[in-house]
Structure 1
Amino acid sequence: MFTTRPELLGTTGMVASTHWLGSATGMAVLEAGGNAFDAAVATGFVLQVAEPHLNGPAGQVPALLATADDPRPAVLCGQGVAPAAATPGRFAELGLRLIPGSGLLPATVPGAWDAWLLLLRDHGTLRLRDVLGYAIGYAERGVVVLDRMTETIRTVADLFRTHWPSSAELWLPDGRPPEPGSLHRNPALARTWQRLLAEAERFTGREAQIDAARRAWSHGFVAEAVDRFTHQAFRDDSGRAHPGLLSGDDMALWSAGYEDPLVTELGDWSLVKCGAWTQGPVLAQQLLMLDGFADQLSYVDGVPTARTVHLAVECAKLAFADREAWLGDTPEAAATVPDLLSADYLRQRRELVADAAADLRPGSPGGRQALLPGVLAETRGLAGGVGPTGEPTVRTSGVTGGDTVHLDVVDSRGNMISATPSGGWLQSSPTIGELGFCLDTRAQMFWLEDGLPNTLAPGKRPRITLSPSMALRGGQPRLAFGTPGGDQQDQWQLCFWLAHVLGGLNLQEAIDAPAWHTTAVPSSFVPRGWTPRGLEVESRLGTSTIDALREYGHEVTDAGPWALGRLSAVAREPSGILRGAANPRGMQGYAAGR
């Protein structure tokens, strides 16, 4: 099996992320005596500066964690809720059938700051200054601009100049997008973080300081600035200017928290995912369906056969159709998940697998009757929102799809975390000039039609695509992995899992193995397009395999040899040996460890 890099091996610690600055920062924290959670927080903040087109301070972060003292995994929920003023009726009054994908209307309560600090307080060991200082330094002194960041800013430059002047001031120095290889500074963000630190350090004690910094965000000057800003109206992709719905009171009423994860038994492994408020159950459902085809799945020299890819794609279509009908942030959705993963239901779903299907076919778990969003009939055939290597497809209106960063960390004691931060993208919402960051647009993932699990309601989380993963073996955390990529996250993670567990490839080989995804999945991003029978593959699958997939009825697009996914992974063996690997696609993700 060809591999671009070695799988890293060590015993001290491993950090893998979508940007080398994040991975190097996390490793520096481990070297300084911090644990995996300290390293994850520092990495997360640096990624907000290094990849601002993929995540930001007012975004969100779901994570899976397990501690050396208690290997039972937990979910860290850093996804904020819809504002109190956000109702389907409010959007109907505005004449909108979909929540815009840009501007202020789609903002949910910012979740990343509170989630990272909650993790640091409860499971870290270092002070806030010790982990936040790296990101402050990059915001003050500058981070080197990469090509994709320049391309993103160039796409929305006219929007910034004409309608979002505060964004133009920050992201168009000298009136132009920053050149690749140049330094870009964000002094306003550095000042915001320094002020939060100053508020924290009025108190003594590590935990007291962290809690003070959380209050300064949600009850103090940050919430006040957000409240003032959202009263202004800015143009969004509806073509009109709207003020926001998010208020300082919304921020004060929400805080991050912990939940039990979904744990699914898969032979020797146990897959750990977030619950029905994410698309996480989809990966479990795909793998359980594929288990019934185990004798037809195989890899040859590190490459899956055409039959393997075809079966994986058809199981993905069925699982994602169920996502549209059944998953969301409701008690009823959570109660449906066991039925979606039950043996009888999975057997029914497998019977539908034949040649390439062209329709969304949700099932009836527990005898329930499926209801799909009516607008999907209108968005059929529209292109989705994911470009090469999982980077977002950005339109001139600021609408973004398929964006995110990811990080995984494990330390010598066995503390482990997988996190997928996202939101607050520089291109999709106007910059709050005094704070140096913008709000998220995650509420675009809600539906405005009544009666769906993912229908908009105040205080509700949107069903997010963010989907970190962990796996246990013998009840012990052994593997943490994930990828950016919007709706494709739990398809590209399926590629990785099959290559690693079925194909026997090590972490780096499994990440490097040829990937694929179906576009017959309704996008969670405006305009919510999906392409029946669409299948994107990496050409390294081979000509004969691609031809065979077309014979199955798939409309195959060759995305190029290295085009799909931005995976990273870390692992820990019972012996204490640690492993790490990261995606070479895009030449940006790296693992670090020793």
Structure 2
Amino acid sequence: MTYTPPPSTTTRPQLEGVHGFAASTHWLATGAAQAVLERGGNAFDAVVAGGFVLHVVEPHLNGPGGDLVGIFQTAGATAPTVLMGQGPAPRGATIAHFRAQGLELVPGAGGLAAAVPLAVDAWLLLLRDHGTLDLDDVLGAAITYAREGHPLLPAAAATIGRVADLFRAHWPTSAALWMPEGTAPRGGDLVRNPAYADVLQDLVHASAEAGGDRAARIDAARARWQRILHAAVAFLAHPHRHSTGTDHAAVLADADVDSLAASYEPAVTATFRGRTIAKAGTWTQGPALLQALRLLEPMPDDRLDPSTVEGAHTIIEVLKLALADRDAHFGDGVDPSPLLDDAYVDGRRGLLGARASREWRPGSPTGEPPHRPPLFTASAADSGTGEPTVSASGQTRGDTCHIDVVDRWGNIVAVTPSGGWLQSSPTVPELGFCLGTRLQMCWLDPDSPSALRPGARPRTTLTPTLLLEDGLPVAALGTPGGDQQDQWQLPLLLRMLVGGYTAQEAIDAPTLHTTALIDSFWPRTWNPAGVVAEDRLGDDIIAGLVERGHDVLRAGDWTLGRLSAVGIDRRRLLASGAPVLWAAANARGMSGYAAGR
């Protein structure tokens, strides 16, 4: 049996050129990044410009009080690098404190769930070390959109509408920012955030006043950012409503934000069909994608085709095994190598069967029994699709953004920013943003590898990808989607690397994912055989999955994934010897775009 051929048409062309390309989940972020490339900036200048615009134009998906994970390779480098923008738990975030508050889980909304916010510091660190421009050159677009206004996405307006009663009754500062007329805005309404514009302008002023070289000027802005966050600490020290229906004060302290610092780490890698896939470590879910690819590698091509019953079933069952290992073993400081060991992966592959497993089946890569979190079951109807930011049950959920950039010098970068959603916690009025709730991914169980521990990073879902051939990067990609991020990247990679699809063809192709995992977000449910599939996958494929025992929720035709990607086609060289660059973006959600020349 042959692999399903790519579609004859796509929603848009895969863009190709030689100067540079940007792709993201919002057209204004893509435009800001591309404008920086046109002014002579490199990929890192451009991705930072676009990243700050995402704070403004997708406030329901990310914010300056949140976090990010990036992965990149500079021109001439021999290995990829991870940009670590995930803040740790504050010093006061102990299991004992949360238990004393009467809590069994970390809340999904409210300041008590706030990790130290590292997104802005990470963007500035990347700009300092790998960019070429000054801060005023890259923040101009974000400041303009925040001060002058931008059209609100329909999904953002819908999110505000769903939390309008919460804002009115309990979070009045959020109501003042997002509902200034007393009612939720509509999609397309022009919205402004002058307080955040002032914050960004303050960073620019701090940088300009510092003098010294470019690195010193950007470090001055990083120091100013720490002081700015003191206002958030003071504001959230007052008890306020959380997702539990109870009121609590945050534990984040000035000392936590004064010591914040983003950093770099080596990537974790695995090979698949002669390529290298690079991810962040087990403080993210990234190694689960690597394990899934290792499980699939020796199988015949038709079992790797998500557009067949056998392929879709196999991919789902492989993901269930990899994600069970994620939920049992991943956490800050955990070595991923035993989970990717050849003998261990071979043993896991032997568990795959012809019918859907309804068991939670983590392995024991080091011989120690796996940690078993509580399994709170949920029906397929209650499981979210990852898009939009409110689950099918009506509970407000956060999501994420993504941006990729490649430049003519060969620099390439993918960043997945998230957290600090407008529905995360009350807006700090003088700052125009709130803090995130990433600690909800920690367990109040000291035996868990992802236990809540002061100074430890919560195991985040943020997971961008870098693809390499012969040690050189050829693609950077990622998507929003919480627990679905690597699940949606897997079919894309299989279609590209096995099926011969272009990135745009793979992004446009119908996809699916499993909900047979322990949800990373409050209230942490599990659906033993759940599958969510786009209707375009086809009636025969969906019926075949049901016959094999999967509980399938149809999600509509264009609902799953907001993937984007950029790349370097090193097999196609121009007369100058330069390779062709490319970019692809997603039509789902009607906001993602790529641009370049």
Instruction: Name the TM tier (shorter chain).
Output: over 0.9
Structure 1 distance, partners of 2:207, 2:236, is 26
Structure 2 distance, partners of 1:547, 1:224, is 55
Structure 2 distance, partners of 1:544, 1:206, is 59
Q: How do 1:86-485 and structure 2 match up within 5 A?
A: 86-204=93-211, 205-218=213-226, 220=227, 222-297=228-303, 299=305, 304-330=307-333, 333-334=334-335, 337-354=336-353, 355-373=355-373, 375-376=374-375, 378-381=376-379, 386-387=384-385, 389=387, 391-393=389-391, 399-401=396-398, 403-485=399-481
Structure 2 distance, partners of 1:385, 1:522, is 11
| Structure 2 match to 1:498 | 494
* Residue among 526, 538, 552 paired with 2:548: 552
Structure 1 distance, partners of 2:301, 2:34, is 41
Kindly provide the amino acid, as one letter, of the partner of residue 371 in structure 1. H
1:470-524 residue CA offsets vs partner (Å, 9 max, x unmatched): 0100110101010000000010000111111111110100000110001111110
- Deviation of the 1:385 alpha carbon: 5.7
Tell which deviates more after alignment, 502-511 or 66-75.
Answer: 66-75
| Structure 1 match to 2:515 | 519
Residue 26, structure 1, aligned to residue 36, structure 2: no
Structure 1 distance, partners of 2:86, 2:381, is 27
* Residue among 567, 574, 586 paired with 2:589: 586
Structure 1 distance, partners of 2:165, 2:352, is 47
Kindly provide the amino acid, as one letter, of the partner of residue 400 in structure 1. R
Q: CA RMSD in A?
A: 1.5
Aligned 8 A contact 1:129 1:197 in 2: yes
| Structure 2 match to 1:80 | 87
| Structure 1 match to 2:576 | none
Structure 1 distance, partners of 2:394, 2:366, is 44
- Deviation of the 1:411 alpha carbon: 0.4
Structure 1 distance, partners of 2:556, 2:163, is 26
After superposition, the Cα gap between the structure-2 partners of 1:49 and 1:225, relative to the gap in structure 1 and judged at 3 Å, is same
After superposition, the Cα gap between the structure-2 partners of 1:410 and 1:257, relative to the gap in structure 1 and judged at 3 Å, is same
Aligned 8 A contact 2:382 2:393 in 1: no
Structure 2 distance, partners of 1:491, 1:342, is 21
1:270-322 residue CA offsets vs partner (Å, 9 max, x unmatched): 000000100000000001101132354255xxx62111111000000000000
Kindly provide the amino acid, as one letter, of the partner of residue 352 in structure 1. L
Aligned 8 A contact 2:273 2:497 in 1: no
Structure 2 distance, partners of 1:394, 1:157, is 18
Kindly provide the amino acid, as one letter, of the partner of residue 288 in structure 2. V
Aligned 8 A contact 2:405 2:566 in 1: yes
- Structure 2: state its 5+ residue gaps: 1-6, 574-578
Structure 2 distance, partners of 1:106, 1:519, is 24
Structure 1 distance, partners of 2:149, 2:391, is 25
Kindly provide the amino acid, as one letter, of the partner of residue 216 in structure 1. R
Give me the TM-score of the superposition, normalised by structure 2: 0.95
Aligned 8 A contact 1:394 1:400 in 2: no
- Deviation of the 1:259 alpha carbon: 0.4
After superposition, the Cα gap between the structure-2 partners of 1:516 and 1:394, relative to the gap in structure 1 and judged at 3 Å, is closer
Kindly provide the amino acid, as one letter, of the partner of residue 351 in structure 2. L
After superposition, the Cα gap between the structure-2 partners of 1:394 and 1:240, relative to the gap in structure 1 and judged at 3 Å, is farther
For the residue of structure 2 that corresponds to 1:450, the secondary structure is coil
Q: Identical aligned pairs, as a percentage?
A: 50
1:369-416 residue CA offsets vs partner (Å, 9 max, x unmatched): 11111x22x34548666346454439877x424x00001110011100
- Deviation of the 1:238 alpha carbon: 1.6
For the residue of structure 1 that corresponds to 2:271, the secondary structure is strand
Aligned 8 A contact 1:385 1:400 in 2: no
Kindly provide the amino acid, as one letter, of the partner of residue 413 in structure 2. I
Aligned 8 A contact 1:20 1:589 in 2: yes
Structure 2 distance, partners of 1:587, 1:31, is 25
Structure 1 distance, partners of 2:559, 2:152, is 21
Structure 1 distance, partners of 2:216, 2:377, is 50
Structure 2 distance, partners of 1:63, 1:152, is 26
For the residue of structure 2 that corresponds to 1:393, the secondary structure is coil
Kindly provide the amino acid, as one letter, of the partner of residue 171 in structure 2. W
Structure 1 distance, partners of 2:302, 2:565, is 27
Kindly provide the amino acid, as one letter, of the partner of residue 582 in structure 1. A
Kindly provide the amino acid, as one letter, of the partner of residue 240 in structure 1. T
Structure 1 distance, partners of 2:386, 2:168, is 27
- Deviation of the 1:328 alpha carbon: 0.3
Kindly provide the amino acid, as one letter, of the partner of residue 438 in structure 1. C
Structure 1 distance, partners of 2:103, 2:467, is 41
Structure 2 distance, partners of 1:534, 1:26, is 38
- Structure 1: state its 5+ residue gaps: none
Structure 2 distance, partners of 1:30, 1:395, is 42
| Structure 2 match to 1:572 | 568
Structure 1 distance, partners of 2:383, 2:585, is 23
| Structure 2 match to 1:540 | 536
Aligned 8 A contact 1:61 1:78 in 2: yes
After superposition, the Cα gap between the structure-2 partners of 1:487 and 1:357, relative to the gap in structure 1 and judged at 3 Å, is same
1:102-139 residue CA offsets vs partner (Å, 9 max, x unmatched): 11100011111100000000000000011011100000
- Deviation of the 1:227 alpha carbon: 2.2
| Structure 2 match to 1:67 | 74
Kindly provide the amino acid, as one letter, of the partner of residue 133 in structure 1. G
- Deviation of the 1:368 alpha carbon: 2.0
Structure 1 distance, partners of 2:267, 2:293, is 17
Aligned positions, number:
581
After superposition, the Cα gap between the structure-2 partners of 1:536 and 1:349, relative to the gap in structure 1 and judged at 3 Å, is same
After superposition, the Cα gap between the structure-2 partners of 1:59 and 1:394, relative to the gap in structure 1 and judged at 3 Å, is farther
Structure 1 distance, partners of 2:426, 2:57, is 19
Kindly provide the amino acid, as one letter, of the partner of residue 213 in structure 1. A
| Structure 1 match to 2:3 | none
Tell which deviates more after alignment, 185-194 or 380-389.
Answer: 380-389
